[in-house]
Chains A and B, each alone.
Chain A
Amino acid sequence: MNSLKTKRRIRLSLSYVLIILLCVCAVYPALWILMGSFRPGKSLYSKTLLPEHFTLEHYRELFNSKSILFGQWYLNTLKIATFSMIIGVLLILLTSYALSRFRFKGRKNAMSILLILGMFPGFMSMIAIYLLLKEMHLMDTHLALIIVYAAGAPLTGTFIAKGFLDTIPRSLDEAAKIDGASNWTIFTRIILPLSRPLITYVALTQFVGPWVDYIFARLVLRTKENWTLAVGLYDMVSTNQNSNFPAFAAGSILIAVPITILFMFLQRLLVDGLTSGASKG
């Protein structure tokens, strides 16, 4: 009995060491860039992780500078990300619900097509989308980006969503159907509440997408006032390469913070065992 206990203790302490090591690796780059953004001067190089004294001048520079319209880019990105997330999540859920719960002609083909289409490199379609948006007079508008992101959402999220919905017991649907529920009621009252971890995951990926997408944003948005953060940040790196590293660091922090907070706030939903007892009740 005693040897079992020591074995368990060794296993646990090894696990803790490993976990702490992993945590250090995970946090270090973030810490480094955070410290970098408070460091006076303009250089990338520093002797220590902690700066000698802290300064906020780089953050001030972001919002007061004539060439960096950081506040404007921020609002643009927030708007685009929110709308494309809402539409994208809706489309993904509808598609995966239909594919997971219904058996109809051409279903397997539809899934194969979806899978194939997801494998084309996104910017193989870049030129065509550019021309299409020009046809629709949507160049340099945020609406265009929202449409492009939302339309592409089912390709990226459907399979994960379908895999999750497959694990929700079908006996629940059948019970509801016997009680006279319509398909729509089943979707909103049973499937949606049970897929909260999934919805969180999909919503986050859809929200983060526009924050990090450089390729399409650069293609569609032409005037500086309309840019998103990704375009702005990349521009900051490429125009003054290494000459103003702390300003880039400060910009990075401001881009990363809302997403990181949102994520930390929502992650509980990801891991709640929502379906663990559903089949029994």
Chain B
Amino acid sequence: MDRLRNRATALSVLSMGLGQMYNRQFVKGLLMLLAWAAGLYYLINNLGTALWGISTLGEVTRHRVNGKFVDGDHSIFILVQSLITLMFFLIFAYFYVMNIRDARRIAAGREEGTEPNNFEQTVRYILDYKFAQTFLIIPGIGILFFTIMPIIFMVMIAFTNYASPNHIPPAKLVNWVGFQTFRDLLLLKTWSHTLFGVLTWTIIWAILSTVTTYFGGLLVALLINQQGIKFKGLWRTILILPYAIPQLVSLLVMRNMFNGEFGPINQYLQYFGLGGLPWLTDPFWAKATVILVNMWVGIPVSMILIMGVLTTIPRDMYEAAEVDGASGFQKFRIVTLPMILFTTAPTLIMQFAGNINNFNAIYLLTSGNPVKGDYQYAGATDLLVTWLYKLTLNQNKYNMAAAVGIIIFVIIASFSIYNYRRTKSFKEEDMIQ
């Protein structure tokens, strides 16, 4: 009695949707058939070019025809087009396999006497049981094209020689060079010195800025939420102000305030008889300034977040603790703190990762300066991201920038994933309720 099953499978291998039609699911089958035809049309036109493009990155350089320059292949455009086509091909293949499995499953059901769902029932089934997956498709597509594809692209760039002055299209072709870029970055003295210097500061910065803002925010939130404090709303409103001001504005303003010659901060210090400090021009003080300003910007965010969590803690937990005779501090330690940490643990890690990549805080305030002479295109407060930015936009060393990005990413990602999977909210998320 395997006939139905095998026929449905064979038909759906032949073309998407045929197996479904054979199973008497006509609307569903027709929709799938149309999608299949459109997809196939696109692939036939593009897949060959894509495979050629990704393996060669273009073959014709700019050349002269009858005394005029004619543009050759633009390696980078070819790479992106090939990537899009290949991604489309993978999605298409995935749905093809799913289609075959679906047809086989339904035909198997028919053999046992179950009636296949009609179109209306199919839609209902998806909404009731495949709700999450269906909904995730929309953000998934956005992420696929605007995050994953670009990341794959940049990873590939790290294995090419796409850098000024010698390999910038359309005048010149770009080639695959394997691990040469990484070798240069880690083994050439000038590059590796910069890499390790910048990396060390990036890690110090990320730890200090995350800890100061998170616990600063926690303290401020608890300070205001104390029993007996009046005008809670007013204090909150005032303290939120730094968060409400766009960072672009506040950081550029801070840059002026900490100005060594004309800024008001040094003016006040001189007024009190103290010498002015080289806030943004001395390597050590520039680092201190960046951390300080980041606290000003970051504490309100943590404060709001933690205050929000404080309101979601069920009252009965405190009541239960009071019945058991807990003191104020015990209530904090046993109820408040675990609840806050549970809810904000992912945020804390994201903030850490965010601080490693905190472009604005550095670039708008110091631009990575003061410049360090023995660094390759980097300054004393440069994070890896701002260094990347300079390498990309000012120096056009695309392959080097991509390689730096990958190295950092590997370090950060492995640490963060490990840490995140250990936190309660990932492991025991079903246990809190």
Contact surface of A with B, Cβ cutoff 8 Å: 8, 11-12, 15-16, 18-19, 22-23, 25-27, 29-30, 32-33, 43-46, 49, 91, 94-95, 97-99, 101-102, 104, 107-108, 110-112, 114-129, 131-132, 135, 147-148, 150-152, 154-155, 159-160, 162-164, 166-167, 169-171, 182-184, 197-198, 201, 208, 211-212, 214-215, 230, 233-234, 237, 242, 245, 248-249, 252, 255-256, 259-260, 263-264, 267-268, 270-277, 279-280
B128, B148, B247, B425: the one within 8 Å of A183 (CB): B128
Q: Which among A19, A276, A280 is the interface contact of B223 at CB below 8 angstroms?
A: A19
Q: Which residues of B contact A107 (CB under 8 A)?
A: 132
Judged by a CB distance under 8 angstroms, whether B304 is at the interface is yes
B246 lies within 8 A of A211 (CB): yes
The number of inter-chain residue pairs (CB within 8 angstroms) is 296
Contacts of A211 in B (CB 8 A): 246, 248
A19-B223, A267-B236 given; A121·B405 CB < 8 A: yes
Instruction: Give the contacts of B131-153 with A (CB-CB under 8 A).
Output: 131-133, 135-136, 138-139, 142-143, 145-151, 153
Contact of B307 among A151, A183, A234, A271 (CB under 8 A): A271
Asked if B373 CB lies within 8 Å of chain A CBs, one says: no
6 example contacts (A-B, Cβ-Cβ < 8 A) are as follows A15-B223, A16-B229, A30-B242, A49-B264, A124-B405, A245-B256
User: Which of B51-59, B97-105, B177-185, B345-353 lies at the binding interface?
Assistant: B345-353
How far does the Cβ of B168 sit from chain A's closest Cβ, in whole Å?
Answer: 12
- Chain B min CB distance to A227 (Å): 13
B237 touching A267, Cβ below 8 Å: yes
Contact B151 A110 (CB under 8 A): no
Give the distance in Å from the alpha carbon of A256 to the alpha carbon of B267 in the complex. 26
Is A272 touching B311 in the complex (CB atoms < 8 A)? yes
Residues of B within 8 A of A120 (CB): 147, 151, 405, 409
- Bound Cα distance A11, B147 (Å): 50
Q: In the complex the two chains form, is B239's CB within 8 Å of A23's CB?
A: yes
Contact in complex: A163, B238 (CB < 8 Å): no
Complex contact A256–B249 (CB within 8 A): yes
Give the residue of A159, A242, A276 whose beta carbon is less than 8 angstroms from that of B346.
A159
B228 touches A8 (CB 8 A): yes
Complex CA gap A91/B247 in Å reads 24
Q: Do A33 and B147 touch across chains, with their CB atoms under 8 A apart?
A: no
Residues of A within 8 A of B236 (CB): 267, 271
Is the pair A280, B316 in contact by a Cβ cutoff of 8 Å?
Answer: yes
Given contacts A104-B133, A128-B151, A160-B347, 12 further A-B contacts (CB under 8 A): A19-B229, A23-B239, A29-B250, A30-B242, A33-B249, A45-B262, A101-B132, A102-B131, A114-B143, A116-B416, A122-B357, A124-B402
Q: Whose C-beta in chain B lies nearest to the C-beta of A209? A: B246
Complex: how many Å from CA A273 to CA B388? 43
Question: Which residues of chain B have C-beta atoms less than 8 A from A167's C-beta?
Answer: 309, 312, 343, 432
| Of the residues A25, A154, A237, A263, contact of B296 by C-beta under 8 Å | A25
- Report yes or no: A121 in contact with B308, Cβ–Cβ below 8 A: no
Cβ-neighbour of A18 out of B81, B223, B252 (below 8 A): B223
Q: Is the CB of A117 within 8 A of B238?
A: no
Residues of B within 8 A of A116 (CB): 413, 416-417
Mask of B410-433 contacts with A, CB within 8 angstroms, 1/0? 001100110011000110010011
**Closest CB in chain B relative to A212 CB, distance in Å:** 4
Q: Evaluate contact between A123 and B388: CB separation under 8 angstroms.
A: yes
When the two chains form their complex, are residues B139 and A252 in contact, meaning their CB atoms are under 8 A apart? no
Interface string of B93-122 (1 = CB under 8 A from A): 000000000000000000000000000000
Q: Across the interface, do B239 and A26 meet the contact criterion of CB distance under 8 Å?
A: yes
Tell yes or no: B76 within 8 A of A by CB.
yes
A260–B245 touching, CB < 8 Å: yes
Would A201 and B149 be within 8 Å (CB), given that A27-B238, A29-B250, A95-B139 are in contact?
no
Q: How far is the CA of A95 from the CA of B160 in the complex (A)?
A: 36
A260 touches B241 (CB 8 A): yes
A276 B311 Cβ-Cβ under 8 A: yes
Closest residue of A by beta carbon distance from B245: A256
Q: Is B46 an interface residue (CB 8 A)?
A: no
Q: CA separation between A157 and B136, bound complex, in Å?
A: 15
Query: Are B248 and A160 in contact, with the CB atoms below 8 A?
Result: no
Nearest Cβ in chain B — how far from A92, in angstroms? Answer: 8
Bound-state Cα–Cα, A30 to B244, Å: 11
Residues of B within 8 A of A273 (CB): 311-312
Q: Are B77 and A131 in contact (CB under 8 A)?
A: yes
- Counting CB contacts under 8 A, is B332 at the interface? no
User: In the assembled complex, which residues on chain A have CB atoms less than 8 Å from the CB atom of B312?
Assistant: 164, 167, 273-276
| Minimum CB distance partner of A131 in chain B | B80
Question: Do A233 and B252 form a contact, CB below 8 Å, given A29-B257, A121-B359, A163-B425?
Answer: yes
B131 adjacent to A264 (CB under 8 Å): no
Nearest B residue to A134 via CB reads B77
Q: Are B257 and A184 touching (Cβ within 8 A)?
A: no
A123 touching B389 by the CB < 8 A rule?
Answer: yes
Residues of B within 8 A of A151 (CB): 139, 142-143, 145-147
Q: Could you say which of A99, A124, A148, A170 contacts B388, with CB atoms under 8 Å apart?
A: A124
